[in-house]
């Protein structure tokens, strides 16, 4: 009896590559971040913009300032909580917009007339040649700094990535016999695509969206860091890192490290969840076959 | 609806389908009487499935004509898809793959009823229950997902779904080939009863001569895209005239069966149609 137990456990671990602990941890972490963003006014001990030059650059763990203060004496924890709002909302917007656009493009390419596929697929190929960050910077140069321009630019830049995935998934799903059986029953291609094909792609799309969220968060933080994203007095984690630059030069990097680590952990958590979603999709697929 | 209530329900003349230079079927003619059952037999690659797919509009014929209830439906069009569906339906070889995996069986059966305007929600629910009863699916089967049913139950569900549309012709493409022999018999008996009760006509595409002998009145034997023999099923299968039909019959394992002789006969037949 004692011999069979470790054998069973080993098999289970091998099947769940990441292990449930990492996935649950990621989910809990993200939940905390979301709650922090929503409840920032209740949780933050200070106003995120309240400066106090006497208390500048306090290290983390200082009395009254759990995560320390930045170079103008603003409380890092409060800024982190408030910053979570734009840091999460902006990539969410990008992911929603690029997913809607990408699904539309991918489905038309996969299921529409051949000329539409040629047109859309070639356009996507060309779009891949533009680095998304460069496109976003270009949009900022044209439309001015602020969140709107880079969000629109990133949404457009991400669309071909979503579109290509949706197209290949939809082509694969469209070759399943049930799609033909619906055609024989008299249903239109559009109806079958939207009512049957798309819902069957949803889990894979959710996984894809989670990964895109991570990329968007990093890209938008990068733009804010470069001073091209959110503009003062609003702030996100990227602009917090940017404003901590002088402090880094003084040898006090804490106010940059805290938002930096938060970005890192958030992206890792989102990617873990996305990967988990993706692998469970693969599993049901195998069961189906 | 339109169409005459007399005369053959399905009339096919000079059907031809090519893929580039490859000829899939060439010069297929047949007539299906109302309430009749026609078998199309042949080995894989003989063009029998292509013929079936042209009938239901999944493929476009290169030449020839398909008359369904006197109406020309040779060229499938998106506009006429729904109208054609009301006259002709198809059962696929693997019923599992012909269902949306997310929907329960009763949801899948209800869908075409809604599309073809079979009344309000309550009436459709009643129709679904009747259909399930007709094909021998329990209430529990009906509430299950396709993956939770056995092969035979899925095929019953596929039959119920097609019957709901009340087609005049039901094309069965190797519909029992994937089932165990005992389940095959059950489904064939069911199909036989349905034909007597509803007057629907069958086009039975199969490589299995026993199935064809049981389920059809007339039969076409196809080889390399052409019809090599046709006639009453009993007559063709008991006294085959064409050497290919004789070979097909000899290929069925039975007492005294000689695989070597069958293989030799197959080789002897092959150069004849290449030349």
ipTM score for this prediction = 0.86
| Contact between A68 and A57 (Cβ < 8 Å) | yes
Taking the C-alpha atoms of residue B38 and residue B49, their distance in angstroms, rounded to an integer, is: 14
Token couple for A16: 């769940």
Q: A233 preceded by cis ω (within 30°)? A: yes
Q: Which of B81, B102, B116 sits opposite A183 (nearest CB)?
A: B81
What percent of chain B has pLDDT above 70? 96
The 10s digit of each residue's pLDDT in B41-53 is 988 889 999 999 9
Higher per-residue pLDDT: B257 or A238:
A238
What is the layout of strands, in order, in the sheet containing B22-32? B22-32, B10-19, B63-68, B71-72
What's residue A228's pLDDT? 86
What's residue A288's pLDDT? 45
Taking the C-alpha atoms of residue A239 and residue B127, their distance in angstroms, rounded to an integer, is: 63
Q: Which residues of A255-283 are buried (b: 16+ CB within 10 A; e: fewer)?
A: bbbbbbebbeebbebbbbbbbbbbeebee
What's residue A130's pLDDT? 83
Name the residue in chain A with its Cα closest to that of B147.
Answer: A288
* Region A160-170 average pLDDT: 94
A251, pLDDT greater than 90: no
What's residue A18's pLDDT? 60
CB B84 to CB A185 under 8 A?
no
Contacts of B158 in chain A (CB under 8 A): 181
The 10s digit of each residue's pLDDT in A226-243 is 888 887 778 889 889 888
Q: Which of A177, A185, A287 sits opposite B85 (nearest CB)?
A: A185
- Residue owning tokens 């029992």: B176
Q: Which residues contact B60 (CB under 8 A, 6 or more apart)?
A: B54, B75, B76
Q: Taking all residues of chain A, what is their mean pLDDT, rounded to a whole number?
A: 85
A283, pLDDT greater than 80: no
Domain chopping of chain A, boundaries: 73-288
DSSP-derived 3-state class of residue B37:
strand
What's residue A10's pLDDT? 44
CB B84 to CB A186 under 8 A?
yes
Q: Does B154 touch chain A (CB under 8 A)?
A: no
CATH dotted code for B10-239: 3.40.50.300
Taking the C-alpha atoms of residue B170 and residue A109, their distance in angstroms, rounded to an integer, is: 33
**Angle subtended at Cα A175 by Cα A171 and Cα A181, rounded to the nearest 5 degrees:** 130
The 10s digit of each residue's pLDDT in B101-128 is 999 999 999 999 999 988 899 999 999 9
Residue B273: pLDDT band by 50, 70, 90 thresholds?
low
A residues 179-198 closer than 8 Å to B (CB): 180-189, 196
Name the residue in chain A with its Cα closest to that of B54.
Answer: A184
CA B157 to chain A, closest CA, distance in angstroms equals 13
* Region A215-223 average pLDDT: 91
B3, pLDDT greater than 50: no
Nearest CA-CA partner of A136 in A256, A233, A218 = A218
Q: Does B50 touch chain A (CB under 8 A)?
A: no
Q: Does B147 touch chain A (CB under 8 A)?
A: yes
Contacts of B98 in chain A (CB under 8 A): 177-178, 180-181
Q: Taking all residues of chain B, what is their mean pLDDT, rounded to a whole number?
A: 89
What is the layout of strands, in order, in the sheet containing B226-232? B88-91, B169-173, B201-206, B37-41, B218-223, B226-232
Token couple for B254: 């039975």
Token couple for B248: 């097909």
Q: Which residues contact B51 (CB under 8 A, 6 or more apart)?
A: B12, B15, B25, B28, B40, B205, B222
Taking the C-alpha atoms of residue B147 and residue B94, their distance in angstroms, rounded to an integer, is: 12
Nearest CA-CA partner of B266 in B43, B9, B1, B41 = B43
- Residue to mutate among B97, B146, B158, B163, with most A CBs inside 10 A, is B97
CB A184 to CB B112 under 8 A?
no
CB B147 to CB A185 under 8 A?
no
Domain chopping of chain B, boundaries: 10-239, 240-275
Residue A131: pLDDT band by 50, 70, 90 thresholds?
confident
Token couple for B150: 């056995």
| Contact between A261 and A244 (Cβ < 8 Å) | no
Taking the C-alpha atoms of residue A40 and residue A81, their distance in angstroms, rounded to an integer, is: 5
* Region A59-78 average pLDDT: 86
A7, pLDDT greater than 60: no
What percent of chain A has pLDDT above 70? 90
What's residue B179's pLDDT? 86
* Region A141-149 average pLDDT: 85
- Residue to mutate among B100, B131, B162, B166, with most A CBs inside 10 A, is B100
Q: What is the dihedral of CA A181, A184, A189, A193, to 10 degrees?
A: -20
Q: Does A286 touch chain B (CB under 8 A)?
A: no
Taking the C-alpha atoms of residue B133 and residue B197, their distance in angstroms, rounded to an integer, is: 14
The 10s digit of each residue's pLDDT in B171-209 is 999 988 888 888 899 999 999 999 999 999 999 999 888
What's residue A230's pLDDT? 82
* Region B160-178 average pLDDT: 93
A199, pLDDT greater than 90: yes
What's residue B90's pLDDT? 95
- Residue B47 phi, psi (nearest 5): 100, 5
**Angle subtended at Cα A102 by Cα A100 and Cα A106, rounded to the nearest 5 degrees:** 125
What's residue A262's pLDDT? 93
Q: Which CATH architecture has domain A73-288?
A: Orthogonal Bundle (1.10)
Alpha helices per DSSP H over chain A:
4-15, 19-38, 40-43, 76-111, 114-128, 132-143, 148-174, 177-184, 189-192, 198-225, 237-243, 245-249, 254-288
Token couple for A52: 């106090």
Name the residue in chain B with its Cα closest to that of A197.
Answer: B100
Token couple for A286: 């195998």
Please classify residue A195 by burial: count the beta carbons closer than 10 Å to its beta carbon, then call 0-12 exposed, 13-18 middle and 19+ buried: middle
What's residue A35's pLDDT? 94
Q: Which residues contact B217 (CB under 8 A, 6 or more apart)?
A: B36, B37, B38, B232, B233
- Residue owning tokens 């005992």: B182
Most distant CA pair in chain A, distance: 77
Taking the C-alpha atoms of residue B171 and residue B205, their distance in angstroms, rounded to an integer, is: 7
CA separation (Å) from B162 to B75, B87, B136, B188, B242? 22, 11, 15, 16, 35
Residue A289: pLDDT band by 50, 70, 90 thresholds?
very low
A5, pLDDT greater than 60: no
Higher per-residue pLDDT: B252 or B99:
B99
| Contact between B214 and B187 (Cβ < 8 Å) | no
Taking the C-alpha atoms of residue B192 and residue B212, their distance in angstroms, rounded to an integer, is: 12
CA B259 to chain A, closest CA, distance in angstroms equals 34
């Amino acid at each position: 009896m004692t011999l069979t137990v470790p054998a069973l456990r080993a098999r289970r671990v091998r099947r769940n590559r990441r292990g449930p602990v990492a996935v649950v941890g990621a989910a809990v972490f993200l939940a905390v971040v979301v709650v922090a963003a929503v409840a920032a006014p209740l949780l933050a001990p200070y106003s995120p913009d309240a400066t106090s030059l006497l208390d500048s650059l306090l290290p983390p763990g200082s009395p009254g300032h759990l995560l320390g203060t930045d170079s103008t004496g603003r409380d890092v924890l409060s800024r982190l909580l408030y910053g979570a709002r734009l840091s999460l909302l902006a990539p969410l917007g990008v992911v929603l917009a690029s997913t809607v656009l990408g699904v539309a493009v991918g489905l038309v390419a996969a299921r529409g007339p051949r000329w539409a596929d040629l047109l859309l697929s070639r356009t996507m190929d060309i779009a891949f040649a533009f680095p998304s960050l460069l496109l976003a910077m270009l949009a900022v140069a044209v439309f001015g700094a602020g969140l709107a321009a880079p969000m629109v630019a990133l949404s457009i830049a991400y669309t071909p990535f979503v579109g290509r995935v949706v197209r290949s998934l939809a082509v694969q799903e469209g070759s399943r016999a049930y799609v033909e059986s619906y055609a024989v029953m008299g249903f239109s291609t559009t109806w079958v695509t939207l009512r049957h094909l798309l819902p069957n792609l949803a889990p894979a799309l959710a996984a894809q969206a989670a990964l895109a969220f991570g990329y968007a968060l990093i890209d938008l933080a990068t733009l804010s860091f470069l001073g091209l994203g959110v503009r003062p007095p609003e702030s996100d984690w990227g602009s917090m890192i940017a404003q901590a630059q002088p402090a880094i030069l003084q040898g006090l990097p804490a106010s940059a490290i805290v938002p930096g680590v938060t970005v890192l952990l958030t992206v890792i958590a989102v990617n873990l969840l996305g990967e988990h979603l993706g692998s469970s999709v693969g599993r049901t697929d195998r069961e189906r076959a | 609806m339109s169409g005459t209530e007399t005369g053959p329900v399905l009339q096919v003349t000079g059907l031809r389908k090519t893929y580039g230079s490859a000829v899939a079927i060439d010069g297929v003619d047949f007539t299906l009487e109302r309430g009749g059952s026609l078998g199309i037999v042949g080995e894989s690659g003989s063009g029998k499935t292509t013929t079936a797919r042209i009938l239901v509009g999944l493929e476009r014929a290169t030449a020839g004509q398909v008359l369904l209830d006197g109406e020309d439906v040779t060229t499938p069009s998106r506009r006429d898809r729904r109208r054609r569906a009301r006259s002709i339906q198809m059962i696929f070889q693997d019923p599992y793959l012909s269902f949306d995996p997310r929907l329960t069986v009763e949801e899948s059966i209800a869908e075409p009823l809604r599309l073809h305007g079979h009344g309000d929600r309550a009436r459709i629910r009643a129709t679904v229950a009747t259909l399930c009863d007709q094909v021998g699916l329990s209430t529990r089967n009906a509430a299950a997902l396709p993956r939770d049913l056995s092969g035979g139950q899925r095929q019953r569900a596929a039959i119920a779904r097609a019957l709901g549309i009340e087609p005049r012709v039901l094309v069965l493409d190797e519909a029992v080939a994937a089932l165990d022999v005992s389940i095959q018999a059950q489904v064939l008996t069911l199909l036989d009863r349905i034909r007597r009760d509803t007057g629907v006509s069958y086009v039975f595409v199969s490589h299995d001569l026993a199935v064809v002998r049981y389920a059809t009145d007339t039969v076409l034997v196809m080889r390399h895209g052409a019809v090599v023999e046709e006639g009453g099923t009993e007559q063709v299968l008991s006294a085959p005239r064409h050497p290919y039909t004789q070979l097909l019959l000899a290929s069925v394992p039975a007492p005294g069966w000689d695989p070597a002789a069958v293989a030799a006969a197959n080789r002897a037949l092959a150069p004849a149609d290449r030349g």
